Structure 1
Amino acid sequence: MGKDAGGAERKPRIHTMEQLSAEIGVSRPTLSRYFQDPAKVSRSSVERIERGLERVEYVPNFFATRLNRKSTGMIGVIIPYLNDLFFTKLMQGIETAAMEAGFTVITQCSHADPRVEARAVETFMSMNVDGAIVAPLGNQTNTEAQERLDRRLPYVLVDTRPKPLMHVDYVGTAHAESMRLILNYLTRVGEPPVFLAMPRVNFNAFQHEQIYLEAMAEKGLEPRIIGTELIAEGWHYEAHGEAALSAFFARGDFTESSILCANDRVAIGALRAAARHGLSPGSQRRGGLRIAGHDDYPLCPFTVPALTTVAQDLDAIGRAAVDRVIAKIAGQKSEFDHSVELFPGTLKIRESA
């Protein structure tokens, strides 16, 4: 046995379970049961294995310990963007709930590409994950791949539910109610809001636009929608919001209006447009320029001014999605028993409106 750089005795490195069995004097099947679930092994064997593991350098192969199990103990999750803190927070809720239930989460990103999304689906099926939770690409999602996944595995959609996949288990926000919440607030404190939309690449954003139209009609108010056209390739969020609104501000339009944005990322761009034109959203007690969004993106409290929005309960959504997929893994829900669970939004009144 050698020594490490600090002079301490270096533990012998063990590469296989067969080598470990010989080194600590416990049978290979007993070791396998121990790494699957220590409760399946006698107390004396557990103590012997744990003492042995202290003497050697060994990390069990995650997949090898699951080869003979009916369950891999893994839940696959697909998200559309890595650079979006909304999905980071959603993943936090999913991972926390999964770990508490004894599952390991394997994450793939579709990078806003239906082909990559389909490849992630194939990866999960080849890995024999126990179930899958997917935040799809809205109307661009690869519905054929999603339907194949639904036939093969316990499967739940989160965040958005494109119409071709309406009959799949879904956990998300009650967007009709949450959009009316922010719209009702804006009409109380200022003029009826203009809706700053975005190109049709995000199903939830398009849904927000439709709900805006319905709610304005219910109130007998004239709707006004701007920003639906793509300004530049890839400009779907902050860059789109800034460019679309800046063009209107440059002409003197909407500088005293309430502006309800399709989501918070568009609204962050809108705030930047206001700053570039010397405007201060929310500075008047009533009326004047107001900018609001939807989602409660993690940076919203720290924008200048802080963004008024509606918070989605991502921790609850993540936990409910995990609970649902685990129930399906356990066979508690039939393949024909599809459910929809919607959580209310919470109005977050801040400086911008």
Structure 2
Amino acid sequence: MDTPDTPHVNKERIDTMEHLSAAIGVSRPTLSRYFQDPDNVSRTSRERIRKGLERVEYVPNFFATRMNRKSTGMIGVIIPYLNDLFFSRLLEAIERAAMDVGYTVITQCSHSDPAIEARAAETLMSMNVEGALVAPLGNHSDLDVHERLRSRLPFVMVDSRPDTMPEVDFVGTNHYHSTGLATEYLARVGGPPVFLAMPRVNFNAMERERAYIAKMEQLGLEPRIVGVEGVSGAGYFEAHGQAVLEREFSSGRLVASSILCVNDRVAIGALRAAATHGLEAGAMQRGGLRIAGHDDYPLCPYTVPSLTTVAQNVDAIGRTAVARLVESIRAEKSSGKQILKLFDGEMKIRESA
């Protein structure tokens, strides 16, 4: 509420650069240079524009000021899911790293749909982004889309990588290390772990499955995998994990096993299945059931029991992916050398195993 000491001031609202130019007495080209970078104009003009902007209500058109530059200062990001907290964390890391080097992030989501993923890529190209970071859907992605992006823009893949594009710059997790850590830990504290997989359409899921098999063979143990085929009527991730273990527990199988889930969201479904069968996973519980995941999903410390998992170094992945993309954007010519950066995981031992 206004008081007698602080009278309300109605500022003139201005919507165009032309009207702003007339209102504060500075040429439009000078204003344009100012909004691109205040240091591009003289100190006298800067001060005049600053004082003029205090008298009016004006917000520069973001895209208009960017499109007039040789460099738009924008990078595009495509993620597969909006309802996945892992990708929320990854996007936060990317945005913070981009802001630190003066870039703005434009995000598109493919919503698990190859057609939407293709449209997202076309949208980014139409907006003249200077480079793109893409977390692909899986082997049902339209790889032609990725090839078009790569032919037009500096391009880095993050999180997962198609086997068909091994030469593309990639930043992600060393799944052989991270999955190996969890496999070895479960084998040490319980029985030989069973791997709760996913239908083979997800690159990371397939790589983690292969990593599990390799580590089991190294330990001299027999790999056992469940959940490769989808259960009729079950959805993705949590619903899949619950449905697979509902089936197993109902038949009296795996009730005293160590179970390594392909990711934390599947593991959360697995914990739900255990609870509905009166089972509780954990080293301190009777019966021998242990459940672990992968990713260190933000909810893992708050499940019941809290979920043992392997943390991905999400901050480092985001920073490194942005650094590589900006390096490619600013390079006068490509070195032609592919960058492959994989970060090790870290065990997070909690109650469930």
* Counterpart residue number, 2:128: 128
* Counterpart residue number, 2:346: 346
CA drift at 1:285: 7.3
Asked if the contact 1:82/1:109 (under 8 Å) is kept, the reply is yes
CA drift at 1:67: 3.0
Q: 1:233 and 1:125 mapped to 2: Cα distance?
A: 38
Asked if the contact 1:90/1:315 (under 8 Å) is kept, the reply is yes
Q: Does 2:95 match 1:91? A: no
Q: 2:203 and 2:27 mapped to 1: Cα distance?
A: 55
Identity of aligned residues (%): 65
* Counterpart residue number, 1:100: 100
* Counterpart residue number, 2:63: 63
Q: Which moved more, 1:307-316 or 1:286-295?
A: 286-295
Q: Does 2:283 match 1:247? A: no
Q: Could you list the runs of 5+ residues in structure 1 that have no partner in the other structure? A: 1-5
Q: 2:293 and 2:250 mapped to 1: Cα distance?
A: 22
* Counterpart residue number, 1:22: 22
Inter-CA distance 225–263: structure 2 relative to 1 (3 Å threshold): same
* Counterpart residue number, 2:3: none
Asked if the contact 2:135/2:160 (under 8 Å) is kept, the reply is yes
The count of aligned residue pairs is: 348
* Counterpart residue number, 1:297: 297
Q: 1:164 and 1:110 mapped to 2: Cα distance?
A: 20
Q: Could you list the runs of 5+ residues in structure 2 that have no partner in the other structure? A: 1-5
CA drift at 1:188: 0.9
* Counterpart residue number, 1:324: 324
Q: CA RMSD in A?
A: 1.6
Inter-CA distance 65–163: structure 2 relative to 1 (3 Å threshold): same
Inter-CA distance 234–104: structure 2 relative to 1 (3 Å threshold): farther
How do 1:24-39 residues align onto structure 2 when only pairs under 5 Å count?
A: 24-39=24-39
Q: 1:180 and 1:287 mapped to 2: Cα distance?
A: 25
CA drift at 1:283: 4.2
Q: Deviations over 1:210-260 (max 9, x none)?
A: 111111111111111111111136612000100110111112211111000
Q: Does 2:142 match 1:142? A: yes
Asked if the contact 1:191/1:287 (under 8 Å) is kept, the reply is no
Inter-CA distance 335–125: structure 2 relative to 1 (3 Å threshold): farther
Q: Which moved more, 1:59-68 or 1:323-332?
A: 59-68
* Counterpart residue number, 1:202: 202
Asked if the contact 1:193/1:258 (under 8 Å) is kept, the reply is yes
Q: 2:234 and 2:86 mapped to 1: Cα distance?
A: 18
Inter-CA distance 286–215: structure 2 relative to 1 (3 Å threshold): farther
Q: 1:113 and 1:335 mapped to 2: Cα distance?
A: 34
CA drift at 1:180: 0.6
Q: Deviations over 1:286-342 (max 9, x none)?
A: 981100011111111111111000000111101111100000000166162211011
Asked if the contact 1:171/1:341 (under 8 Å) is kept, the reply is yes
Structure 2 residue matching 1:125: 3-state secondary structure: helix
Q: 1:81 and 1:216 mapped to 2: Cα distance?
A: 31
Q: Deviations over 1:3-24 (max 9, x none)?
A: xxx9723211111111101101
Q: Deviations over 1:86-115 (max 9, x none)?
A: 100000000001111111100000011111
* Counterpart residue number, 1:3: none
Structure 2 residue matching 1:164: 3-state secondary structure: coil
Q: Which moved more, 1:244-253 or 1:307-316?
A: 244-253
TM-score by length of 1: 0.95
Q: 1:118 and 1:339 mapped to 2: Cα distance?
A: 24
Q: Which amino acid aligns with 1:296?
A: D
How do 1:164-179 residues align onto structure 2 when only pairs under 5 Å count?
A: 164-179=164-179
Asked if the contact 1:189/1:287 (under 8 Å) is kept, the reply is no
* Counterpart residue number, 1:161: 161
Q: 2:295 and 2:332 mapped to 1: Cα distance?
A: 32
